[in-house]
Structure 1
């Protein structure tokens, strides 16, 4: 059963914005995920994307991240569960990724 995606924006401890995603990110909700990320990136110099509550990330979700990593100060915080897929995709070469 698919876990619904929830995306919540708020202030971070460092003064920058944090966008927290929970649930699953796949092709059924990648556009919604991308739109939420776009709103934060449009108004901020740096955004931390907290993916620690994400239990599944497919290629559509990874494409959203790649599309927005270039030209933005995007920082990802991801669970160990996503470490392999993020490394294989090459995303850590284009943006900051911290695994928790």
Structure 2
């Protein structure tokens, strides 16, 4: 069964591409996330503040784009991004999408 995931493209306050992600990111829906990231060229702010769960398959997709993404994470995800090493490769901000 596919886990609910919402991907909403947009533009951040600074004019950068923004992808707002909501729901759970797991192996059942990483294809949709990867496709959305692939469709957005250049630097990208990824707002994960409404993500409730992120598994290793989701992390793998994020690692593939680490050199060009800025992550905005909720307090639940911040330790996952840090322990996985992704926070050392991509810029990570806490909470507010306006920071991107």
- Give me the TM-score of the superposition, normalised by structure 1: 0.88
C-alpha contact (below 8 Å) 2:49/2:74 kept by paired residues = yes
Inter-partner Cα distance in structure 2 for 1:86 and 1:17: 21
User: Which residue is equivalent to 2:80?
Assistant: 85
Tell me, which stretches of 5 or more residues in structure 1 are unaligned? none
Task: String of CA shifts for 1:57-76, please: whole Å, max 9, x gaps.
Answer: 00000000001113x2x100
Task: String of CA shifts for 1:20-51, please: whole Å, max 9, x gaps.
Answer: 000000000011111101111x2xx3210000
**Secondary structure of 2:19's aligned partner:** strand
**Secondary structure of 1:28's aligned partner:** coil
Question: Is 1:25 paired with 2:25?
Answer: yes
User: Which residue is equivalent to 1:8?
Assistant: 8
Tell me, which stretches of 5 or more residues in structure 2 are unaligned? 96-100
- Give me the TM-score of the superposition, normalised by structure 2: 0.88
**Secondary structure of 2:27's aligned partner:** coil
Inter-partner Cα distance in structure 2 for 1:47 and 1:65: 11
- 4+ residue stretches of structure 1 with deviation over 4 A? none
Q: How many residues align?
A: 94
